[in-house]
Amino acid sequence: MQKKNKLVLIGNPNVGKTSLFNQLTGLNQKVGNYLGVTVDKKIGYFYHHKLSYQIIDLPGTYSLYPSSKDDEIIGTILNNEKNKDYPDITLFIADSSNLKKSLLLFKQIQDLGIPILLILNMLDEAKRKGIILNVKKLKQILSTEIVLINARTGEGIIKLKNKINFLNAKKKFIRYHNNSTFLSSSILYLKAVKKIQQYYNINIYKAWYYLACQNLEQHTYIKQIKNKYNIISKRLQVKEIFNRYEEIEKIISQTVHISCHEKTKKIINFSNKIDNYFFIHPFWGYFIFFLFLFCIFQSIFIWASLPKKLLEFCFLFIQKKLENVYPGPINDFILHGILPGISIIFTFIPQIVILLFFILLMEETGYINRVIFLMDRLMRPFGLNGKSVVPIISSLACAIPAILSSRHIENYRERLITILATPFITCSARLPVYSLIISIIIPDKQWLVFHLRGIVLMGMYLLGFLTSLSISMIFHIFLKKDYKSHLIMEMPTYKWPILNNILISLWIHIKSFIFHTGKMILLISVLIWSLGNIGPSNTTINKYFMIQKQNLNHSYLGIIGKKIEPFISPLGYDWKIGIGLLSSFVAREVFVSTMATVYSIEQNNYHHPLKERMKKEIDVNSKQPIYNLATGFSLLFFYAFSMQCMSTLSIIKKETKTWKWAIIQFILMTFLAYSSSFIIFQILKT
């Protein structure tokens, strides 16, 4: 088996890193996670002229000194030659129209002594701004190979691959000599640096980095040296950055020339005016954004309904075709255990595709940066940032794509708070439950354009939104802050979207959903079906250990429903509602279909609507209707707060890389659901 040469792709945020990664690897990529941390690891593979490469897309950053958990990953990989991801070559991508911003990180990585290739992207953007680069001079000053590309169109990718092959062949002979001037101006610290260098047998900049990096203070020897020479890491960082920028200014003055024509100035001014008067305006900015969101959600409900119905039709067609194929237990298991689980997975996909498509489109055009800037101030008091607004509002449709979209939030703490707050927003799966319960307990009255049932439904949506913000604030108070979060971003210019870039990213997300979240959904669907179709034997000997097929009433699910009745009766529920609560753990809307099955079996009556059958249900003890105002609102509050969606739990586990937060979320929401339903029922029943 041919050895894979290891590459890492690194650069500042918004310089085209993801586009280049997609151009190099196409669909041959996967998402994993780094050992022991909750950060996604994007790995891709490509083959060029008989050489095989593995490339890791590292998180975007501005400096080697970490300001988040994601940034720590970069230092961990690049500073440890024994790390399994330590690269043979580093591919450093920079924005040609803003080279100064990228050179700080470039010089830091170069001084670590790793072979590095500078890739200048967005040449078209630089040209439009009248920026001319003296590439030959730049190559000479930086002592590095340079490749010019356009990552969005794919221009220059073949040249880049050839250059990677060339460097790979020469890497054993590459010896980079540290020529940074900032070290020579730091005589006060050189004694400490020398000692670290000798102790760890590393180069001089790496020794400096060990002293300047705060998250290495647990190393005893580093701590001793810091105490001995009275070194404060932050001061070293500030000194390095200050001195490096003096060096970078000289490089830029020799290699970058700006010749901005009047036409170019007019285009830039026009773009700035659009931003100031519309997209980031204190009023019109919000108006345009919410109008855009309105269009997205209209699209989700309108466009997703047809493919969803087609998928449901296909699964129904398959189900009918299989009904007469070898009838028996295996056939029944496939028809009612496996197929419904697969059906649930695939019927989510149209909504996910549409939502993610629009989010990727906003990214590709540069509009998402305007939204983040606009919303950041509003979201900060709740422990969120501007990027949280997309997942929170997206969860009105479905929490699963909404949680997936939280990946755009770099700060792990803010991403976690967003993920935990998102399931409280009223999603489309709660709508069938709300509609059924409200239609049973609320009279069908209307005053002018105000419909009483519509007002109650809107109240449930407001309740979800306010609870989501309150939960965010609570987590904001109690979750430990590892790093201070600041919104550092540069407003990119507007670009025409390239469909291929969007589709590749879309496919990676969908594939990840199907193979990671889907298998969990399928597993629990099969479990719920099994418990609902088998039960203890009717024989008197070892009846609980002898299993046989039973109807829902006598199945393990039915027995569990009756067993939990004492716990749910204070909420106003009987065992049949208990079965509905248990079965709807697969998905909230399953509550409606389960109740239809239960009342069909019990009353043997298929001719009346479900809500009529439920209205007639009488409590055997009180001889009063079970579904009264108290029970109805108790159920509404239960579904408003409970985590009745194992798909959402699965995606929380996947995105946080641990069951810990999924379990905490489940306990918290269950407690809120139970306590609020109990209080509501006890107040209204009197």
CB-hemisphere CA count at 13 Å for 311?
17
pLDDT for 145-174, tens place per residue?
Answer: 899 998 888 888 999 999 898 888 876 555
What pLDDT is attached to residue 278?
86
User: Residue 526: pLDDT band by 50, 70, 90 thresholds?
Assistant: confident
Which two three-digit tokens encode residue 333? 């298991």
Average pLDDT over residues 620-638: 86
For 2, other C-beta atoms within 10 Å of its C-beta total 8
Of 13-27, 236-250, 475-489, the least confident: 475-489
End-to-end Cα spacing for the chain = 76
User: Residue 581: pLDDT band by 50, 70, 90 thresholds?
Assistant: confident
Pairing relation of β-strands 5-11 and 89-95?
A: parallel
Residues 6+ apart with CB under 8 A from 39: 33, 59, 69, 70, 73, 412
Average pLDDT over residues 656-682: 90
Pairing relation of β-strands 116-121 and 145-148?
A: parallel
Give dist(CA 524, CA 537) in Å, integer.
24
Which two three-digit tokens encode residue 625? 């209707």
Nearest CA to 261 out of 87, 113, 132, 84 is that of 132
Nearest CA to 366 out of 129, 14, 11, 100 is that of 14
Which two three-digit tokens encode residue 669? 């929401």
Average pLDDT over residues 526-534: 74
Average pLDDT over residues 466-486: 81
Q: Is pLDDT at 275 greater than 60 in this prediction?
A: yes
pTM tops 0.85, yes or no: no
For the chain, give me the number of helices (H) and strands (E)?
Answer: 30, 13
Give dist(CA 193, CA 239) in Å, integer.
14
User: Residue 23: pLDDT band by 50, 70, 90 thresholds?
Assistant: confident
User: Residue 1: pLDDT band by 50, 70, 90 thresholds?
Assistant: low
What pLDDT is attached to residue 605?
52
The full DSSP string for 530-591 is HHHHEEE-SSSSSTTTSEEE--GGGSHHHHHHHHTHHHHGGGT--HHHHHHHHHTTS-TTHH
What pLDDT is attached to residue 84?
84
Residues 6+ apart with CB under 8 A from 510: 349, 352, 353, 356
Q: Could you tell me the sign of the dihedral formed by the alpha carbons of 583, 584, 586, 589, in that order?
A: positive
Pairing relation of β-strands 116-121 and 89-95?
A: parallel
Average pLDDT over residues 372-393: 79
Which is higher by pLDDT, 184 or 423? Answer: 423
The full DSSP string for 50-87 is TEEEEEEEPPP-S-SS-SSHHHHHHHHHHT-TTSTT--
Most distant pair of Cα atoms in the chain: their distance: 94
Of 358-362, 378-382, 482-486, 580-584, the least confident: 482-486
Q: Name beta bridge partners: 51.
A: 48
Q: Is pLDDT at 93 greater than 90 in this prediction?
A: yes
Q: Is pLDDT at 262 greater than 60 in this prediction?
A: yes
Nearest CA to 12 out of 133, 101, 77, 81 is that of 101
Q: How is residue 156 annotated by DSSP? A: T
Pairing relation of β-strands 29-33 and 40-48?
A: antiparallel
Q: Is pLDDT at 541 greater than 60 in this prediction?
A: no
Q: How is residue 146 annotated by DSSP? A: E
Q: Is pLDDT at 544 greater than 70 in this prediction?
A: no
Average pLDDT over residues 8-14: 87
For 453-489, b where at least 16 C-beta lie within 10 A, e where not — what string?
beebbeebbebbbebbbebbbebbeeeeeebebeeee
